[in-house]
Structure 1
Amino acid sequence: GGRSPLLSTFTVDTEEGVPTSVDFVRCDPHQMVASYTSSNSYIFDIETGKQVLMLDTKANSDSAGRNQINRIINHPTLPISITAHEDRHIRFFDNNTGKIIHSMVAHLDSVTSLAIDPNGLYLLSGSHDCSIRLWNLDSKTCVQEITSHRKKFDESIHDVAFHPQKPYIASAGADALAKVFV
């Protein structure tokens, strides 16, 4: 038989719950980050499988309980991880220290999805509040809001994306629709 394509398996203490999202650390090709239902995230070394750093949401959060991470992404050029939470927040972490560098209430309901434009200037967020919001990453301000999908069973937007070359954004929703916007 052929060799297994599995490179590494990453585990943390069981009290962290199950992984909810993963991404590669863009400015360090030897690392990946995983978020968990506990609301914490961990940076791992891809080669060794060892935990490098914990991004501690609990120590930096005033909301108890409902702050599970739904999505984690990494900035394309800066050592920053960005998390989308059940408690309506988006949080920004320094990948070198694990400390929170910014936290903001971003939506009226759970933040479900995140994407960063290819130039690293804008953040796109989607939520069960039926809105997609475009954020200026430098000022952390909302520069555009689009009401996009209808609710279905208390869910709305499941994912958002930037086009790699064109000024398009896309969304996928619980209403069984995928949409592209200019």
Structure 2
Amino acid sequence: MQDTNQFVATYDSLKTIIYDTETGKVVSQLVNDNSTSDPSYRINKIISHPSQPIIITAHEDRKIRYFDSNSGRMIHSMVAHLDTVTSLAIDPQQTCLLSGSHDRSIRLWNLETKNCIQEFTAHQKKDDESINDVAFHLSKPYMASVGADSIAKIYA
């Protein structure tokens, strides 16, 4: 979302809504590719592109979905991992998306083509969970992840 007077929120009802922070009014609602309240569609992470009107969501159903934040319309959906997608991050150059999953993998995606550029195994499973979050360093070429195995890792 380019407008800093807006924020996006998701609810257990699987509704994802963009609000105006000044008025509190609904700007738009994201339209998903499901019509049920099935918990497998639950959203685990929402991020907005820093300079384009795009919202990206990570889901229980192994998918990453892209939405136009102006219209709320879904513009792309893809099966991204073999298990729940838990985390997302956009690199400072705004060319790559990083995703983490309970399948123990971290994947680096080209934001434009939506193709996987690199995949690696990062954390051990613990209680059916693995990667809890991923991040990029703001000014250095580093990525990081934290897992259910109580380990934080930094990648150069």
TM range (shorter): over 0.9
Residue type at the aligned position of 2:17: Y
In the TM superposition, what whole-angstrom CA distance separates every residue of 1:64-116 from its partner, at most 9, and x where no partner exists?
71110000000011000000000000000001111100000000000000000
Q: Is the 8 A contact 2:14 2:37 kept in 1?
A: no
Give the fraction of aligned pairs with identical amino acids, expressed as a percent: 60
- TM-score w.r.t. the length of structure 2 is 0.95
CA distance 1:148–1:63, change in 2 (3 Å): farther
1:61 maps to 34
Residue type at the aligned position of 2:125: K
In the TM superposition, what whole-angstrom CA distance separates every residue of 1:128-180 from its partner, at most 9, and x where no partner exists?
00010000001000001110000000000000000111111000100000000
Within 2, Cα distance between the matches of 1:62 and 1:51?
A: 20
Question: Which residue, out of 93, 110, 114, partners 1:119?
Answer: 93
1:5 maps to none
Q: Is the 8 A contact 2:64 2:77 kept in 1?
A: yes
Within 1, Cα distance between the matches of 2:20 and 2:91?
A: 25
The equivalences for 1:114-153 within 5 A come to 114-153=88-127
Residue type at the aligned position of 1:150: Q
Q: What RMSD over aligned residues (CA atoms) do the two structures have, in Å?
A: 1.3
Larger Rg: 1
Q: What stretches of structure 1 move > 4 A for 4+ residues in a row?
A: none
* Structure 1: 5+ residue stretches without partners: 1-24
1:47 maps to 22
> Is residue 147 of structure 2 the alignment partner of residue 173 of structure 1?
yes
> Is residue 127 of structure 2 the alignment partner of residue 159 of structure 1?
no
* Structure 2: 5+ residue stretches without partners: none
Q: Is the 8 A contact 1:35 1:71 kept in 2?
A: no
- TM-score w.r.t. the length of structure 1 is 0.82
